Each structure stands twice: as C-alpha cells, then as structure tokens.
A and B are shown apart, each in its own frame.
Chain A
Amino acid sequence: MPSWNSELYKYPLYLILHPFNGFWELKYERSRKMNLVISLVILFLLIVMKIMKTQYSGFLVNIVYPDSINSLMETLYVVVPVLFWCVANWSLTTLMDGEGKFVDIFTSTCFALVPLLVIQLPWIGLSNLISLEEVSFYQFFNSLSVLWCAYLLFVGNMTVQQYSPSKTIGTIILTIVAMAFMAFLCLLFFSLIQQMIAFVQVIHQEIVLRR
C-alpha cells in the first residue's frame, strides 16, 4: 500500500492521463473514504485557485474592479456549479438506470476538475510574465484545460454509470437542462423567502410604530 501522502497527488494525476482505467479504479477498486478526502481537497484547491486568479493574474489578462472582488462569492462560483451538477446528474441517472451512487458522481466530478488546477494554477504566475501578443497562449491553455475537463467529465460519467457513449451525451445535455431548472427554482425560492421576511418585517414595524 503506497503512503497516504503520495497517494494524494499521484492518483489524481494518473487519473487525468488514463481516464478509463482511472475512473474504473475510482469506482470499483479504491477506498471510498480516501476518494472523498481527495475530492474535497481538490475542491478546496479549486476555490483557492479561483480566488488567487482574480487577485494575482497579470494585468494584461485580468482587469477586475477592485471593489467587486469577494472571496466568498468566488467560493460560491466554484462550489455551487459542482453541487448543482452532481445533484442534477444524480437525480437523472437514478431514473435512467445509472449505476453510480451520489458519492461516486461527486468524486468523479471533482477528479475531472483536476486539469483546471494543473494548468490554470501555474498560468496565474505566468500571466504576469507575458506580453499582449502572448496572451493568446494563456487563452489557449485555459481553453485546453476546460476541454480536457469536459472530456474527463464525459468519461467519468460513462464509467461511473456504465452507460454507452451516446447515452452519456444525452444524460449530460439533460443534466445541464436540469441545472438550469434548479437554478430557476432556487431563485424562486429565495425571492419568496425574501418576500416573506420583508412581510414579517413590515408587520413588526407596523406594530412597533402603532403603539
């Protein structure tokens, strides 16, 4: 059994280079607890990277209004899409005879996001060392990481659910639709809650002032 430390970084790197074997092992051969720990670490690193990206990327690729930088919002931008994706995917695949449990879906999704980390993290530093003509490299590598990520999501979903490729593509499209639906429901929910709170507040005010 390899040591805990090297396992943390060696396995995800193996997985992104050998996705079919990697995801198979993830689902059937590795300890679930370990996978979950690695997934959470990946998610945490992604949050850190997102915050660092808005803060430390070079001037030529990153013009942000300083007052609009908010680390809490950056955290949400990472966590919310991942959770939405997992929940939407899980709700769909349970109805479509997928074999993945929620934990499997969550870990496979997090592992699929590793290319973002591997490629974009060094580019935060590198973006400070490039000129305007070299910005296209930055953009190329960024889109490469996103494409790689999408490929891994596809393979991960296929392996974890034991689907055919065409069914996986269909599920992914449906998942995106479901995510949009969930976003709509969340907005509705929050605005209703807001209205209710406002209503109670107004009544409270009314009582206080009428005395």
Chain B
Amino acid sequence: MMWVQKKIYLLIALCCLVGIGAGGTMVQAADGAESYNYSYWGLTTVAPAAYQANVLWNGESIGAGAFKEPSDFHVTEDQQIYVLDSGNNRVVVLDNKFQQVQTISSFVHGGKEETFNNPQGLFVTGNKQLVVADTGNKRIVQLDQSNNLIKVIEAPKSDMLNEKFDFQPVRVVVDKAQRIYVMSTGVYDGFMEFSPDGTFTSFVGANKVFFNPTDYLWKMLSTKAQKSQMVMFTPTEFTNLDIDQEGFIYATNGQESGNVKKLNAQGNDILRRNGYFAPEGDIRYRTADGPSRLIDIDVGDSEIFSILDGKRGRIFTYDGDGHLLYVFGGMGNQMGQFNTPVAIERLGDEFLVLDKALGEITVFQTTEYGRTLNEAVRAYYNGDEDKAYSLYQQTINMNSNLEFAYAGIGKSLLRQGDYHEAMKYFKESMDQKDYSKAFLLYRKEVLREYFPGIMTGVLLVIVCWFGISKYRKRKGVKKVAFMEQ
C-alpha cells in the first residue's frame, strides 16, 4: 500500500515537471526565435520579433486592378502611398487605409497626351509634386499636385558625359531645394545631380574602385592592345537611394562592405559606424550564399534607417550610430516572407514591403518589443535620457541580448551620478570609452572619500619603516661592536 502511494506522489511530481517544461517551451514558441541580432563577438543571438506581418494588399484588394511588376513606391508625409505599377505604366495613389485615391497613367506634354514607358522609380516631394524616372522613355517627368506637367528632363548634354552616354534613370529623389538626384543604369560616377531648372550639374558620391590584385598584375603585364580588350576597373554602381529630412542622401550599393552610405552635399560619406559591426546586413553567412545584396534603403525619423537585403529578403534596421536594432522578413511563401522584394517604406511606425513578382504590399506592424525599442532610440536621440533609461530597461527585460541598450542605460546612470552602477552597464555593452569615463569619476569619488585614511596609512608606514631601520642599524652596530671585542 505504502509504495503505491509513493508511486502516485512520484507520478504527480513528474506531471508537474512535464507541465513546467511544456509551459516553458510554449512561451518560447510564442516569442518566435526567427528574429536575431549580432553580439559583440559576432555571434548570432536570438531576439524577440520586433515586427510582425499583419496585412497583405494587392492591386485587386486595393481596388485598382492587379499590379504588374511594381518596382517602387513612396510614402508622403501626409501618409499617402504612391505605388509605381511599372508593368501597367501607371502610378496608383493610396490613402493610409490602403484605399485607392487616384491613378495617374498619362499627362499632357506639348499639347499631346503622353504615357510612361516601363518607369522604374518615383519620388514625391513635400508639396506633393510627383517625380517619375520614366526609364523606357529615357527621361524624368515631374508633375505637380494636380498632375499637370512641370518639366521633363531628357538625356543631358555635358562635358562630363561621354558622347555615347545612354540616359536610363531608374531611381530618383528630390531634396528640399528641389534639386533632383538620379540613379542611372551604367553610370559609375555616382548620382547625377540636376538643378531645379532641370540642367545637369554634377555627379555626387562615386563609389571607390575595388579590384583584384591578380587582375591588376595581369593588367600591368599586358600590352596596350590587350588592355583595351580587358574589362575596365570601374566603381560599383549604386543600387538605391533615399533622402532624409535634413537633405542627406542614404545610398546602398552592391559591394560586400561599405555598402551603405550617407552622403552630404559634397558627396562624402558621413555615416556613423559606431555599432559592433558596420551596417551592411548579415555578417554571418555561408560562403556559398555570400553577403547581403542590398537593394533598398529607407530613412525614418531620429536617423533610424532600414536596408533591404534582396538575396535573403531581410530588413535590417539601424539607429543613427549604426547599432543593429532588429531584423525581420525572409524568403518564402508565408505571411511576412517575400518572393522578390524590391522596395521598403515606412508608414508611421509600420513597415511596407513591395514584392515585384507577386505585386503585393506586406504591412508589418510593431510588436511591443519593437515599439519599446523604437521609442527608446527616439528618446535617446532627442536627449530625453530619463525616458530612454526606462525604455531601454524595458527592452533589455524583453531581450537581454540587446547589448547596446546597456550603454544607453549606463549613460543616463552616469548623468544621474551613479558611476559605479554605470560602469557595470558599460561593461555589459563592451563600451570601453564610456566605461573609462564612468570609472574616472568613480575613482575620484572613492579617493575623495578615503583620502584622509589613505594618507594616514601612508604616513604610518613611512614612520614605521624609519623606526625599524633605525632600530636595525643600532642592533647591527651592537653586533659589530660585539664582534670587535
């Protein structure tokens, strides 16, 4: 009888254990370990999902008829979405509820009705002028708010351009001063800058030339005739661009590293790369798969920017200092995965991803984690350190692997004067510079506190040492005297 009871107890205990185990796994499953981040050591660490795909829109559900190979879209400040439906040669304008507002498929040019021909890029300015890179017609078309033509930019003529120059604009942005920056296929000298009146002024921000040392050796050894047959060393082309509120151009290119750039007016790269790794998408990949191939970039508020990896369909978001915030997306057939992603945009805090082959827009909404992290980065950017402190604290409660957040907490602790605690947080985020700053203040504090004690100790030691050596000397003298006797 006794051991039957014992067995029952054991069974109950076992059930409890299994129950606890099951609960644990369920929590993990709900968390979704498909998202990740990179640690200081370059290892992949799991992270909770910051964004989740909720809605999928296509041409029919929007009410504009199926999209055919849309290649670009743009969200304006008043949250209207301009989708460039390249295959149907039209621009579909949606409101923020994804309902069609209007469709622009033609404009009047010189008294004639004209259409687009396979346009690849578009941009909408602050006062809602529409600029379209009309690739098939080799021109840029600029329309005003009510779709009247403002100007057409045809292939420019300039000393800087080759005579055989082929103008194939594919992406376009406009800055606050109405200058137009054009990315054109086959142009290696950077972006083409056009003045507000449509004349070509210069190239900006050419990429560096990369070449293989062995190729270079062969080139050195070959004759002029052979050289002319060889491929030229040309800088890599840009793959996309975006412009932020301050007029800085963010650009991506097809290089392996240094593939994200922030260009100032002179065309210099001023992107801050203070994260554990430079922003370039995946840093761990199989050699067979290769590095990320960036095909779009989007700049949000507070210098937060996102890049789209066309190879693996992932969206990487970084803060202004270059810390990787979160990764989401992927290739596949499920909700939140893509076939041929081509463009990303932000609609408020939501992310929109345009899929070219499927003609669909996937809407990603923030999870609680993503929301908190976004707010934390914004608060930190705006200098509101107390708010950033509590928000960062919340994010590391949700994701203790988010190493850079510890530095954010450390900085506000430093401000509050809790140096010792700040040191711990800086150590957690491997931030030597700020650790040193906190440590210096802490050392000063400690020394000030214990200065009298330390000085007394030192004095005592000196006196003792003096006394002992005197005593020894006398003893030594005595010994000598004793020996002399």
> Which residues of A are at the interface with B, using a C-beta cutoff of 8 A?
59-60, 63, 65, 129, 131-133
Contacts and interface: CB of A to CB of B under 8 A. Distances in A.
B482 interface: no
A63 B426 CA distance: 13
Contacts of B41: 65
A132 to B, nearest CB: 4
B440 A131 contact: yes
B255 to A, nearest CB: 29
Contacts of A129: 443
B277 interface: no
Interface of A is mostly: loop
Interface in B430-451: 430, 432-433, 435-437, 439-440, 443
Interface string B399-432: 0000000000000000000000000000100101
B435 A59 contact: yes
A65 to B, nearest CB: 5
17 contacts: A59-B427, A59-B432, A60-B432, A60-B435, A63-B430, A63-B432, A65-B41, A129-B443, A131-B436, A131-B437, A131-B439, A131-B440, A131-B443, A132-B432, A132-B433, A132-B436, A133-B436
Nearest to A133: B436
Contacts of B436: 60, 131-133
Contacts of A60: 432, 435-436, 439
Contacts of A131: 436-437, 439-440, 443
Interface of B: 41, 427, 430, 432-433, 435-437, 439-440, 443
A133 B427 CA distance: 17
Contacts of A59: 427, 432, 435
A129 B436 CA distance: 10
Among A59, A63, A129, chain B packs the most CB atoms within 10 A around the CB of A59
A65 B433 CA distance: 19
Task: Report, nearest first, the 3 A-B pairs whose CB atoms are least far apart.
Answer: A132-B436, A131-B436, A131-B440
Among B430, B433, B435, chain A packs the most CB atoms within 10 A around the CB of B435
Given A60-B439, A131-B436, 4 more contacts: A59-B432, A60-B436, A131-B440, A132-B436
Contacts of B433: 132
Contacts of B443: 129, 131
A59 B422 CA distance: 14
A9 to B, nearest CB: 19
A2 B439 CA distance: 46
Nearest to A58: B439
A135 to B, nearest CB: 8
Contacts of B435: 59-60
B463 to A, nearest CB: 24
Contacts of B440: 131
Nearest to A61: B432
Contacts of A132: 432-433, 436
A159 B245 CA distance: 74
A133 B432 CA distance: 11
Nearest to B441: A131
A60 B438 CA distance: 12
B424 to A, nearest CB: 10
Contacts of B439: 60, 131
A68 to B, nearest CB: 9
A60 B21 CA distance: 41
B44 to A, nearest CB: 15
A113 B430 CA distance: 33
B440 to A, nearest CB: 5
Among B427, B430, B439, chain A packs the most CB atoms within 10 A around the CB of B439
A208 B38 CA distance: 44
Nearest to B43: A65
A60 B430 CA distance: 9
B204 to A, nearest CB: 37
A173 B382 CA distance: 60
B278 to A, nearest CB: 19
Contacts of B432: 59-60, 63, 132
A133 B433 CA distance: 10
Contacts of A65: 41
A132 B439 CA distance: 9
A200 B435 CA distance: 54
A20 B436 CA distance: 43
Among A65, A131, A133, chain B packs the most CB atoms within 10 A around the CB of A131
B45 to A, nearest CB: 14
Contacts of A133: 436
Contacts of A63: 430, 432
A200 to B, nearest CB: 33
A136 to B, nearest CB: 13
Contacts of B430: 63
A35 to B, nearest CB: 30
A60 B436 CA distance: 7
Nearest to A135: B436
B375 to A, nearest CB: 30
A133 B443 CA distance: 14
B177 to A, nearest CB: 42
Contacts of B427: 59
A182 to B, nearest CB: 33
A54 to B, nearest CB: 16
Nearest to A68: B41
A159 to B, nearest CB: 34
A132 B443 CA distance: 13
Nearest to A132: B436
A129 B440 CA distance: 9
Nearest to A67: B41
A65 B430 CA distance: 11
A65 B40 CA distance: 10
A65 B41 CA distance: 7
A155 B436 CA distance: 40
